[in-house]
Amino acid sequence: GQQVMQIPQYQHVQEGEDFTTYCNSSTTLSNIQWYKQRPGGHPVFLIQLVKSGEVKKQKRLTFQFGEAKKNSSLHITATQTTDVGTYFCAGPNTGTASKLTFGTGTRLQVTL
């Protein structure tokens, strides 16, 4: 079945440093969605990318969708303590079981 892996599993940075998480799917995706989950909270939608090679920015966050539509990345410039949480990518599975498959997640810790 479809697998969505993310690296790294965990990253600890100092405030002001940059952060990147990478998402790789075993199958081609029609779109990729990114979610953020704060400790003790629930996943919150960040963005959806649809087109091959698409790049979208949200303030300090930059999202990319790979040319082959099998990978994606999220880059945060100059991290802040409010960026703490786990970042998940998620891709639709167009197989027999229509579902959204979440990645393994990258937990970001930011310290002063």
Partner 1 sequence: DAGVTQSPTHLIKTRGQHVTLRCSPISGHKSVSWYQQVLGQGPQFIFQYYEKEERGRGNFPDRFSARQFPNYSSELNVNALLLGDSALYLCASSLQGWLDTQYFGPGTRLTVL
Which residues partner with 41 through β-bridges? none
- Could you tell me how many residues make up the chain? 112
Closest by Cα among 19, 29, 43 to 72: 29
Q: DSSP character for 55?
A: E
- Taking the complex as a whole, how short is the minimal distance between the CB of residue 99 and partner 1, in angstroms? 4
Q: Is 105 in the site for partner 1 (CB under 8 A)?
A: yes
SS3 65: strand
Q: Is 56 among the residues that bind partner 1 (CB under 8 A)?
A: no
Q: Taking CB under 8 A as the rule, does residue 85 contact partner 1? A: no
The only residue of 19, 21, 25, 43 in contact with partner 1, by rule CB under 8 A: 43
State residue 84 phi and psi, 5-degree precision: -60, 135
Between 36 and 79, whose beta carbon lies closer to partner 1?
36
Site residues (vs partner 1, CB under 8 A)? 1, 30-31, 33, 35, 41-45, 48, 88, 90, 92-93, 97-105
